[in-house]
Amino acid sequence: METVVSGIRSTGNLHLGNYFGAIRNFIRMQHEHKCFFFIADYHSLTTHPAPEDLHRNVKQVLVEYLAAGLDPEAATLYIQSDLPQVAELYLLLNMNAYKGELERCTSFKEKVRKQPDNVNAGLLTYPVLMAADIIIHKATKVPVGKDQEQHLEMARTFASRFNRLYKTDYFPQPYAFNFSSELMKIPGLDGSTKMGKSENNNNAVFLADEPKMIRKKIMSAVTDSGPTKRNQQRPQSIKNLFLIMKVVSQPDTYDFFEEAYNDCSIRYGDMKKQLAEDIIKFTGPLREKIIEIGNDVGYLRKVAEMGKEKAMESASKTIEDVRNIIGFKSF
Protein backbone atom coordinates (compact mmCIF):
# COMPACT_ATOMS: atom_id res chain seq x y z
CA MET A 1 0.00 0.00 0.00
CA GLU A 2 1.39 3.38 -0.99
CA THR A 3 0.61 6.86 0.25
CA VAL A 4 -1.25 8.97 -2.29
CA VAL A 5 -1.83 12.73 -2.24
CA SER A 6 -3.56 15.01 -4.71
CA GLY A 7 -5.59 18.19 -4.80
CA ILE A 8 -7.62 20.51 -6.97
CA ARG A 9 -7.54 24.29 -6.78
CA SER A 10 -10.80 25.86 -5.62
CA THR A 11 -11.23 28.37 -8.41
CA GLY A 12 -14.58 27.28 -9.83
CA ASN A 13 -16.55 24.27 -10.96
CA LEU A 14 -14.77 21.12 -12.04
CA HIS A 15 -14.66 20.16 -15.71
CA LEU A 16 -14.12 17.02 -17.74
CA GLY A 17 -10.33 17.63 -17.71
CA ASN A 18 -10.28 17.56 -13.90
CA TYR A 19 -12.40 14.44 -13.93
CA PHE A 20 -10.42 12.37 -16.41
CA GLY A 21 -7.00 13.77 -15.44
CA ALA A 22 -7.42 13.49 -11.69
CA ILE A 23 -10.70 12.44 -10.05
CA ARG A 24 -11.18 9.21 -11.98
CA ASN A 25 -7.84 8.08 -10.58
CA PHE A 26 -8.74 9.23 -7.06
CA ILE A 27 -11.81 7.00 -7.16
CA ARG A 28 -9.85 3.97 -8.30
CA MET A 29 -7.06 4.49 -5.79
CA GLN A 30 -9.08 5.25 -2.67
CA HIS A 31 -9.76 1.63 -1.74
CA GLU A 32 -6.29 0.36 -2.60
CA HIS A 33 -3.97 2.89 -1.01
CA LYS A 34 -3.69 5.34 1.84
CA CYS A 35 -5.17 8.39 0.14
CA PHE A 36 -5.27 12.09 0.99
CA PHE A 37 -7.34 14.27 -1.36
CA PHE A 38 -7.65 17.95 -0.59
CA ILE A 39 -9.05 21.24 -1.83
CA ALA A 40 -6.24 23.65 -2.63
CA ASP A 41 -7.68 26.89 -1.30
CA TYR A 42 -4.31 28.47 -0.37
CA HIS A 43 -3.34 28.00 -4.02
CA SER A 44 -6.52 29.79 -5.14
CA LEU A 45 -5.33 32.99 -3.41
CA THR A 46 -2.83 33.79 -6.18
CA THR A 47 -5.71 35.39 -8.09
CA HIS A 48 -7.15 37.22 -5.03
CA PRO A 49 -10.73 35.86 -4.85
CA ALA A 50 -13.28 37.96 -2.96
CA PRO A 51 -13.90 36.61 0.57
CA GLU A 52 -17.52 35.78 -0.28
CA ASP A 53 -16.37 33.66 -3.25
CA LEU A 54 -13.62 31.79 -1.42
CA HIS A 55 -15.84 29.61 0.75
CA ARG A 56 -18.39 29.03 -2.02
CA ASN A 57 -15.63 27.70 -4.26
CA VAL A 58 -14.23 25.41 -1.57
CA LYS A 59 -17.70 24.05 -0.93
CA GLN A 60 -18.25 23.46 -4.64
CA VAL A 61 -15.12 21.31 -4.98
CA LEU A 62 -15.99 19.33 -1.85
CA VAL A 63 -19.52 18.71 -3.19
CA GLU A 64 -18.18 17.65 -6.58
CA TYR A 65 -15.55 15.34 -5.02
CA LEU A 66 -18.32 13.57 -3.12
CA ALA A 67 -20.74 13.55 -6.07
CA ALA A 68 -18.06 11.98 -8.27
CA GLY A 69 -17.71 9.11 -5.81
CA LEU A 70 -14.95 9.96 -3.37
CA ASP A 71 -15.62 8.09 -0.16
CA PRO A 72 -14.71 10.11 2.96
CA GLU A 73 -14.52 6.90 4.99
CA ALA A 74 -11.96 5.34 2.65
CA ALA A 75 -9.88 8.40 1.72
CA THR A 76 -9.03 11.45 3.79
CA LEU A 77 -10.81 14.45 2.21
CA TYR A 78 -9.73 17.78 3.61
CA ILE A 79 -9.27 21.48 3.00
CA GLN A 80 -5.68 22.63 2.55
CA SER A 81 -6.02 25.72 4.78
CA ASP A 82 -7.26 23.51 7.64
CA LEU A 83 -3.66 22.30 7.98
CA PRO A 84 -1.32 25.06 9.22
CA GLN A 85 1.46 22.45 9.03
CA VAL A 86 1.36 22.76 5.24
CA ALA A 87 2.09 26.49 5.51
CA GLU A 88 4.96 25.77 7.89
CA LEU A 89 6.54 23.16 5.63
CA TYR A 90 6.12 25.56 2.69
CA LEU A 91 8.10 28.19 4.62
CA LEU A 92 10.85 25.71 5.44
CA LEU A 93 11.10 24.39 1.86
CA ASN A 94 11.23 27.95 0.51
CA MET A 95 14.68 28.34 2.11
CA ASN A 96 16.04 25.83 -0.37
CA ALA A 97 14.05 26.76 -3.46
CA TYR A 98 15.93 29.02 -5.84
CA LYS A 99 14.67 31.98 -7.83
CA GLY A 100 16.16 30.74 -11.10
CA GLU A 101 14.53 27.31 -11.02
CA LEU A 102 11.19 28.79 -9.99
CA GLU A 103 11.31 31.34 -12.80
CA ARG A 104 12.02 28.61 -15.33
CA CYS A 105 8.84 26.73 -14.43
CA THR A 106 6.50 26.59 -17.47
CA SER A 107 3.31 27.34 -15.55
CA PHE A 108 4.95 30.39 -13.94
CA LYS A 109 6.06 31.72 -17.34
CA GLU A 110 2.53 31.19 -18.65
CA LYS A 111 1.01 33.13 -15.72
CA VAL A 112 3.48 35.97 -16.28
CA ARG A 113 2.24 36.15 -19.85
CA LYS A 114 -1.45 35.92 -18.91
CA GLN A 115 -1.53 38.17 -15.86
CA PRO A 116 1.47 40.54 -16.12
CA ASP A 117 -0.05 42.89 -13.53
CA ASN A 118 -0.23 40.25 -10.82
CA VAL A 119 3.07 38.37 -10.74
CA ASN A 120 3.11 37.82 -6.98
CA ALA A 121 5.53 35.75 -4.89
CA GLY A 122 2.78 33.18 -4.34
CA LEU A 123 2.78 32.46 -8.06
CA LEU A 124 6.56 32.12 -8.14
CA THR A 125 6.59 29.72 -5.20
CA TYR A 126 3.43 27.84 -6.26
CA PRO A 127 5.46 24.64 -6.88
CA VAL A 128 6.98 24.88 -3.38
CA LEU A 129 3.52 24.93 -1.80
CA MET A 130 2.58 21.98 -3.99
CA ALA A 131 5.66 20.09 -2.83
CA ALA A 132 4.68 20.82 0.79
CA ASP A 133 1.16 19.45 0.11
CA ILE A 134 2.63 16.24 -1.19
CA ILE A 135 5.53 15.52 1.13
CA ILE A 136 3.66 16.56 4.29
CA HIS A 137 2.13 13.06 4.08
CA LYS A 138 5.30 11.49 2.61
CA ALA A 139 3.39 10.51 -0.52
CA THR A 140 4.89 8.44 -3.32
CA LYS A 141 2.04 8.58 -5.85
CA VAL A 142 0.30 11.73 -7.06
CA PRO A 143 -2.62 11.30 -9.47
CA VAL A 144 -2.60 14.39 -11.71
CA GLY A 145 -3.03 15.43 -15.33
CA LYS A 146 -0.17 15.95 -17.74
CA ASP A 147 0.01 19.70 -16.99
CA GLN A 148 1.30 18.96 -13.47
CA GLU A 149 4.23 16.79 -14.54
CA GLN A 150 6.82 19.53 -14.15
CA HIS A 151 5.49 20.44 -10.70
CA LEU A 152 6.03 16.85 -9.62
CA GLU A 153 9.58 16.95 -10.89
CA MET A 154 10.13 20.04 -8.75
CA ALA A 155 8.56 18.33 -5.72
CA ARG A 156 11.14 15.54 -6.14
CA THR A 157 13.92 18.11 -6.35
CA PHE A 158 12.80 19.87 -3.14
CA ALA A 159 12.36 16.57 -1.29
CA SER A 160 15.76 15.22 -2.26
CA ARG A 161 17.44 18.56 -1.61
CA PHE A 162 16.06 18.51 1.93
CA ASN A 163 17.29 14.95 2.39
CA ARG A 164 20.76 15.84 1.11
CA LEU A 165 21.08 18.99 3.20
CA TYR A 166 20.16 17.22 6.41
CA LYS A 167 21.80 13.90 5.55
CA THR A 168 18.59 11.94 5.88
CA ASP A 169 16.31 9.82 3.73
CA TYR A 170 13.21 11.16 5.45
CA PHE A 171 11.19 12.20 2.39
CA PRO A 172 10.43 9.61 -0.32
CA GLN A 173 10.24 10.64 -3.99
CA PRO A 174 6.72 11.44 -5.26
CA TYR A 175 5.72 10.56 -8.83
CA ALA A 176 2.84 11.71 -11.03
CA PHE A 177 0.45 8.84 -11.64
CA ASN A 178 -2.33 7.75 -13.96
CA PHE A 179 -3.92 4.32 -14.28
CA SER A 180 -3.57 4.24 -18.02
CA SER A 181 0.25 4.51 -17.97
CA GLU A 182 0.19 7.93 -19.72
CA LEU A 183 -0.80 11.16 -17.97
CA MET A 184 -3.94 12.69 -19.46
CA LYS A 185 -4.51 16.01 -21.13
CA ILE A 186 -8.12 16.65 -22.10
CA PRO A 187 -8.25 19.34 -24.80
CA GLY A 188 -10.53 22.38 -25.01
CA LEU A 189 -13.60 22.90 -27.20
CA ASP A 190 -12.15 26.09 -28.66
CA GLY A 191 -9.36 24.28 -30.50
CA SER A 192 -6.80 24.79 -27.71
CA THR A 193 -4.85 21.82 -26.41
CA LYS A 194 -6.09 22.04 -22.82
CA MET A 195 -9.50 22.22 -21.21
CA GLY A 196 -9.18 24.69 -18.34
CA LYS A 197 -11.42 26.64 -16.01
CA SER A 198 -9.60 29.93 -16.40
CA GLU A 199 -9.93 29.87 -20.18
CA ASN A 200 -13.00 31.32 -21.91
CA ASN A 201 -16.43 29.85 -21.16
CA ASN A 202 -16.67 27.85 -24.35
CA ASN A 203 -13.49 25.93 -23.68
CA ALA A 204 -14.72 23.58 -20.94
CA VAL A 205 -17.66 21.31 -20.15
CA PHE A 206 -18.31 21.42 -16.41
CA LEU A 207 -19.61 18.43 -14.45
CA ALA A 208 -22.47 20.62 -13.22
CA ASP A 209 -23.47 21.94 -16.67
CA GLU A 210 -27.11 21.40 -17.62
CA PRO A 211 -27.84 19.28 -20.72
CA LYS A 212 -28.94 22.35 -22.66
CA MET A 213 -25.65 24.07 -21.95
CA ILE A 214 -23.63 20.98 -22.88
CA ARG A 215 -25.42 20.70 -26.24
CA LYS A 216 -24.83 24.39 -26.89
CA LYS A 217 -21.11 24.19 -26.05
CA ILE A 218 -20.47 21.06 -28.10
CA MET A 219 -22.47 22.23 -31.11
CA SER A 220 -20.43 25.45 -31.18
CA ALA A 221 -17.06 23.71 -30.71
CA VAL A 222 -14.51 24.74 -33.32
CA THR A 223 -14.23 22.51 -36.44
CA ASP A 224 -12.97 22.90 -40.03
CA SER A 225 -14.66 22.42 -43.40
CA GLY A 226 -14.14 18.63 -43.33
CA PRO A 227 -11.68 16.13 -44.83
CA THR A 228 -11.28 15.94 -48.60
CA LYS A 229 -8.64 13.20 -48.87
CA ARG A 230 -8.63 9.71 -47.35
CA ASN A 231 -6.80 9.41 -44.00
CA GLN A 232 -6.10 13.11 -44.02
CA GLN A 233 -4.15 14.74 -41.13
CA ARG A 234 -6.48 16.34 -38.61
CA PRO A 235 -6.27 19.93 -37.42
CA GLN A 236 -6.06 20.41 -33.64
CA SER A 237 -9.75 21.27 -33.24
CA ILE A 238 -10.81 17.96 -34.83
CA LYS A 239 -8.23 15.96 -32.89
CA ASN A 240 -9.77 17.54 -29.79
CA LEU A 241 -13.31 16.31 -30.55
CA PHE A 242 -11.97 12.79 -31.11
CA LEU A 243 -9.92 12.91 -27.90
CA ILE A 244 -12.97 13.90 -25.88
CA MET A 245 -15.09 11.27 -27.62
CA LYS A 246 -12.48 8.65 -26.77
CA VAL A 247 -12.96 9.16 -23.02
CA VAL A 248 -16.75 9.62 -22.85
CA SER A 249 -18.21 7.50 -25.68
CA GLN A 250 -18.39 3.77 -26.34
CA PRO A 251 -15.46 2.37 -28.38
CA ASP A 252 -17.72 1.42 -31.31
CA THR A 253 -19.11 4.97 -31.48
CA TYR A 254 -15.56 6.31 -31.56
CA ASP A 255 -14.54 3.79 -34.25
CA PHE A 256 -17.58 4.69 -36.36
CA PHE A 257 -16.60 8.38 -36.52
CA GLU A 258 -12.92 7.53 -37.01
CA GLU A 259 -13.83 5.56 -40.09
CA ALA A 260 -16.20 8.26 -41.28
CA TYR A 261 -13.41 10.82 -40.98
CA ASN A 262 -10.94 8.62 -42.82
CA ASP A 263 -13.29 7.91 -45.74
CA CYS A 264 -14.43 11.57 -45.82
CA SER A 265 -18.10 10.79 -45.13
CA ILE A 266 -18.09 12.40 -41.70
CA ARG A 267 -20.72 15.00 -40.81
CA TYR A 268 -19.46 17.04 -37.87
CA GLY A 269 -23.04 17.90 -36.89
CA ASP A 270 -23.80 14.20 -36.33
CA MET A 271 -20.58 13.65 -34.46
CA LYS A 272 -21.21 16.61 -32.18
CA LYS A 273 -24.80 15.52 -31.47
CA GLN A 274 -23.57 12.07 -30.49
CA LEU A 275 -20.75 13.51 -28.38
CA ALA A 276 -23.10 15.90 -26.56
CA GLU A 277 -25.52 13.06 -25.72
CA ASP A 278 -22.67 10.84 -24.50
CA ILE A 279 -21.35 13.61 -22.26
CA ILE A 280 -24.87 14.21 -20.90
CA LYS A 281 -25.24 10.49 -20.19
CA PHE A 282 -21.98 10.61 -18.28
CA THR A 283 -22.48 13.87 -16.32
CA GLY A 284 -26.26 13.53 -15.73
CA PRO A 285 -26.08 11.32 -12.63
CA LEU A 286 -23.19 13.40 -11.31
CA ARG A 287 -25.15 16.62 -11.69
CA GLU A 288 -28.07 15.18 -9.74
CA LYS A 289 -25.77 14.20 -6.90
CA ILE A 290 -24.09 17.61 -6.97
CA ILE A 291 -27.47 19.25 -6.34
CA GLU A 292 -28.43 16.76 -3.64
CA ILE A 293 -25.14 16.88 -1.70
CA GLY A 294 -24.86 20.66 -2.10
CA ASN A 295 -28.03 21.04 -0.02
CA ASP A 296 -26.75 18.88 2.82
CA VAL A 297 -24.57 21.32 4.74
CA GLY A 298 -24.60 19.13 7.86
CA TYR A 299 -23.03 16.27 5.92
CA LEU A 300 -20.42 18.53 4.32
CA ARG A 301 -19.43 19.86 7.73
CA LYS A 302 -19.07 16.34 9.07
CA VAL A 303 -16.90 15.27 6.12
CA ALA A 304 -14.65 18.35 6.42
CA GLU A 305 -14.19 17.88 10.15
CA MET A 306 -13.41 14.20 9.83
CA GLY A 307 -10.90 14.91 7.05
CA LYS A 308 -9.24 17.68 8.98
CA GLU A 309 -8.71 15.44 11.99
CA LYS A 310 -7.20 12.58 9.96
CA ALA A 311 -5.00 14.83 7.82
CA MET A 312 -3.83 16.79 10.85
CA GLU A 313 -2.60 13.62 12.53
CA SER A 314 -0.39 12.76 9.58
CA ALA A 315 0.82 16.34 8.99
CA SER A 316 1.70 17.11 12.60
CA LYS A 317 3.81 13.97 12.84
CA THR A 318 5.80 15.07 9.77
CA ILE A 319 6.29 18.61 11.05
CA GLU A 320 7.47 17.35 14.42
CA ASP A 321 10.04 15.11 12.68
CA VAL A 322 11.10 17.87 10.29
CA ARG A 323 11.62 20.36 13.11
CA ASN A 324 13.81 17.81 14.88
CA ILE A 325 15.81 17.08 11.73
CA ILE A 326 16.38 20.81 11.09
CA GLY A 327 17.53 21.33 14.67
CA PHE A 328 14.73 23.29 16.33
CA LYS A 329 14.85 22.50 20.03
CA SER A 330 12.85 23.66 23.02
CA PHE A 331 14.63 24.88 26.17
Give the H/E segment covering residue 36: strand 34-40
Residue 18 binds ligand TYM, judged by CB under 6 A: yes
Member of 24, 33, 34, 43 binding ligand TYM (CB under 6 A):
43
Nearer to ligand TYM, 194 or 273 (CB): 194
| Catalytic residue chosen out of the listed positions 34, 111, 138, 272 | 111
85-144 binders of ligand TYM (CB under 6 A): 130, 133-134, 142, 144
Q: How far is the CB of 238 from ligand TYM (least distance, A)?
A: 17
Residue 214 binds ligand TYM, judged by CB under 6 A: no
Q: How far is the CB of 78 from ligand TYM (least distance, A)?
A: 12
Q: Closest Cα to residue 13, out of 297, 198, 202, 206?
A: 206
Nearer to ligand TYM, 243 or 325 (CB): 243
Cα angle for residues 175, 76, 324 (degrees, 5° grid): 70
Nearer to ligand TYM, 41 or 278 (CB): 41
Distance CA(5)–CA(16), nearest Å, equals 20
Member of 184, 247, 271, 280 binding ligand TYM (CB under 6 A):
184
| Cα 199 → chain centroid | 15
Residues contacting residue 76 through CB under 8 Å, at least 6 positions apart:
35, 36, 37, 307, 310, 311, 314
Q: How far is the CB of 271 from ligand TYM (least distance, A)?
A: 20
| Catalytic residue chosen out of the listed positions 59, 185, 194, 310 | 194
**Is 111 annotated in the active site?**
yes
Nearer to ligand TYM, 78 or 266 (CB): 78
Answer whether 70's CB lies under 8 Å from 77's CB.
Answer: yes
| Cα 93 → chain centroid | 22
3-state secondary structure of 7: strand
**Is 194 annotated in the active site?**
yes
Residue 209 binds ligand TYM, judged by CB under 6 A: no
| Cα 241 → chain centroid | 21
Member of 4, 29, 35, 40 binding ligand TYM (CB under 6 A):
40
DSSP string covering 178-240, please? Answer: -SSSSPP-PPPTTS-S---TTS-TTS--BTT--HHHHHHHHHTS---S---STTPPPPHHHHH
Q: Give the total residue count for the chain.
A: 331
| Cα 178 → chain centroid | 12
Size of the site for ligand TYM (CB under 6 A): 26
Q: How far is the CB of 130 from ligand TYM (least distance, A)?
A: 4
Interacting residues toward ligand TYM by CB under 6 A: 5-9, 17-18, 20-22, 40, 43, 130, 133-134, 142, 144-145, 147-148, 184-186, 194-196
Instruction: Tell me the catalytic residues.
Output: 111, 194, 197
